[in-house]
Structure 1
Amino acid sequence: MKRRLLLPYSLAMLTTAGCSMAPYQNSPVDTASPSYSPAKEHPQPAKPPKSEPVPSPDELVKASLYQQHQEWKGIPYRLGGMSRRGVDCSALVYLIYRDHMGIQLPRTTQYQAVAGEAIKQGQLRPGDLVFFRTGRRGRHVGIYIEEGKFLHASVSKGVTISDLSDYYWKSRYWRARRLVIESGSES
């Protein structure tokens, strides 16, 4: 409690320290002295620069995903591919998480679909994995960005951003997973 009052009190004292009245100029003692200049004798404390708000973790993830989209945009889909010559959907997810988020995921959609914890579509946050049933046995994965948009490697368009509300994706939506990152024990 004392510390909380100390800072405002100190600031008040510092701010009002230069508020004394100027000496009476008609006094015989003051006639030989230079004129009073509060700006020179008591400089006002500089105002701290306005700081930018600290982005939330979700904002940082979104920015990273949009940057990854720019770096991978248009790279063709290639089943089993894991490079800029061609990449499949699960490899894109694997590489982005490994290289830019520091998280090791399974390599295939089958195992990515059980990583982390299940979440409902209405709970999606940036970085969550979204899964689709694209055929009798086919599965597809992407990374949710925001407002229904997700980053993925499309068979027809290569690496792109699509919308969950598009008929194709809406009718094939299967599940979503959130990766749980456990922090070390605090001492």
Structure 2
Amino acid sequence: MRFITALLTALLAATLVACSSSGPVARPSRIVYPELSAEQSSDIAFHALGLVGTPYRYGGNTPEGGFDCSGLIGYVYRARAGLVPPRTVAELGGFGTPVTAGELRTGDLVIFGSGRPFHAGIYVGEGRFVHAPSTGGEVRMDRLASTYWSRLAVDYRRP
């Protein structure tokens, strides 16, 4: 019995020493995603268009349960490109690479808000994007040039 007690004490001491080590701490690195092909970008846009009419639901991330804006983006990108984007709009603001309005292509993200982003959608071409707008609404397509959206600061991101 003394042997077992001594062994457990030694293991506990070794564990505590290892946990309190002042050596380098591994920090998660920024995830690097492969660039999407033109085909994947088109698939993303078509899939997003197919979800128009799905009910909005805060925190939602499936067609059956409804979508919020970041849940819609996550669902489409996982289904069509095998990518798992960040879950919040604030994190989506740093996802992928920034592109200019002139470089925008289908499948890119549109991120609204200066400073801390508050809304996001998927660009589907010809100045339009698909998004899950708000409580009581449903996934819909809007124009970036519309009165409401054109007044807001917008960033474009290419995963």
TM-score class, shorter-chain normalisation, is 0.5 to 0.7
Equivalent in the alignment of 2:79: 99
Change (3 A) 1:141 1:96: same
Identical-pair percentage:
36
SS for the counterpart of 2:140 is strand
Kindly state the Cα deviation for residue 119 of structure 1 after the two structures are TM-superposed: 1.4
Q: Mind listing any 5+ residue stretches in structure 1 that lack a counterpart?
A: 1-56, 180-187
Q: Mind listing any 5+ residue stretches in structure 2 that lack a counterpart?
A: 1-36
User: Is the Cα–Cα contact under 8 Å of residues 62 and 146 in structure 1 kept in the other structure?
Assistant: no
Q: Equivalent of 2:52, from 70, 73, 82?
A: 73
Kindly state the Cα deviation for residue 137 of structure 1 after the two structures are TM-superposed: 6.1
SS for the counterpart of 1:154 is coil
What CA distance in whole angstroms lies between the structure 2 residues aligned with 1:177 and 1:59?
A: 17
SS for the counterpart of 2:122 is strand
Kindly state the Cα deviation for residue 65 of structure 1 after the two structures are TM-superposed: 2.0
Change (3 A) 1:126 1:149: same
User: Is the Cα–Cα contact under 8 Å of residues 82 and 91 in structure 1 kept in the other structure?
Assistant: yes
Q: Equivalent of 1:173, from 138, 153, 157?
A: 153
By relative contact order (CA 8 Å, sep 6+), the higher-ranking structure is 2
Kindly state the Cα deviation for residue 123 of structure 1 after the two structures are TM-superposed: 1.5
Kindly state the Cα deviation for residue 60 of structure 1 after the two structures are TM-superposed: 5.7
Whichever of the two has the greater Rg, that structure is 1
Read off the aligned partner of 1:118 and give its amino acid letter: P
Q: Does the alignment pair 1:150 with 2:112?
A: no
What CA distance in whole angstroms lies between the structure 2 residues aligned with 1:59 and 1:168?
A: 31
Equivalent in the alignment of 1:7: none
What CA distance in whole angstroms lies between the structure 2 residues aligned with 1:138 and 1:120?
A: 17
What CA distance in whole angstroms lies between the structure 2 residues aligned with 1:92 and 1:153?
A: 7
What CA distance in whole angstroms lies between the structure 2 residues aligned with 1:176 and 1:99?
A: 21
Q: Equivalent of 1:141, from 101, 120, 123?
A: 120
Query: Normalization by structure 2: what TM-score?
Result: 0.67
Q: How does 1:15-94 map to 2 (within 5 A)?
A: 57-58=37-38, 61-70=41-50, 72-83=51-62, 84-94=64-74
Kindly state the Cα deviation for residue 62 of structure 1 after the two structures are TM-superposed: 2.9
Query: Normalization by structure 1: what TM-score?
Result: 0.58
Read off the aligned partner of 2:152 and give its amino acid letter: R
Aligned length: 121
Q: Does the alignment pair 1:127 with 2:107?
A: yes
Residues 138-184 of structure 1: per-residue CA shift (max 9 Å, x gap): 610001111101111121541111110101111113211111xxxxx
Kindly state the Cα deviation for residue 64 of structure 1 after the two structures are TM-superposed: 4.4
